[in-house]
Amino acid sequence: MRLFNAPQNREAIWLTGEGKGHLDLPRMVQGGFVGGFFAIYIPSPPQEDDDGIDYHQLMENPPYRLPLPALISAEGALPTAWAMANHMLWMERAAQGKFKIVRSVAEIRANMAAGVISGILHMEGAEAIGPDLDALYGFHAMGLRSLGPVWSRPTIFGHGVPFAYPSSPDTGGGLTEAGKRLVVACNELKIMLDLSHMTEKAFDDVAALSTAPLVATHSNAHAITQSSRNLTDRQLAVVKASNGMVGLNFATSFLRRDGKQSVDMGWEDVLSHLDHLITHLGEDNVGLGSDFDGATIPDGIGDVAGLPALQQAMLDHQYGEALVRKLCCDNWLSLLGRTWGG
Name the stretches of the chain with pLDDT < 50.
none
Angle between helices 233-241 and 268-281 (to 10 degrees): 50
- Sign of the CA dihedral with 89 first, then 90, 93, and 98 last: negative
Peptide bond into 166 cis (omega under 30): yes
Q: pLDDT tens digits, residue range 126-171?
A: 999 999 999 999 999 999 999 999 999 999 999 999 999 999 999 9
Find out whether 199 and 179 touch, Cβ atoms under 8 Å. no
For the chain, how many structural domains are there in total? 1
Q: Does residue 28 form part of some domain? A: no
Q: Does residue 26 form part of some domain? A: no
Q: Does residue 209 form part of some domain? A: yes
Range of the domain at 304: 34-45+55-340
What is residue 49's predicted lDDT score, i.e. its pLDDT? 62
Q: Does residue 314 form part of some domain? A: yes
Q: Does residue 172 form part of some domain? A: yes
Q: pLDDT tens digits, residue range 39-56?
A: 999 999 877 666 667 888
Q: Does residue 82 form part of some domain? A: yes
| Beta strand extents in the chain (DSSP E only) | 35-41, 64-65, 99-101, 117-124, 144-148, 164-165, 192-193, 215-216, 245-249, 286-290
Alpha helices in 95-146 (DSSP H): 105-114, 134-142
Q: What CATH code is carried by the domain that includes residue 232?
A: 3.20.20.140
What is residue 51's predicted lDDT score, i.e. its pLDDT? 62
Q: Does residue 319 form part of some domain? A: yes
What is residue 55's predicted lDDT score, i.e. its pLDDT? 85
Q: Does residue 25 form part of some domain? A: no
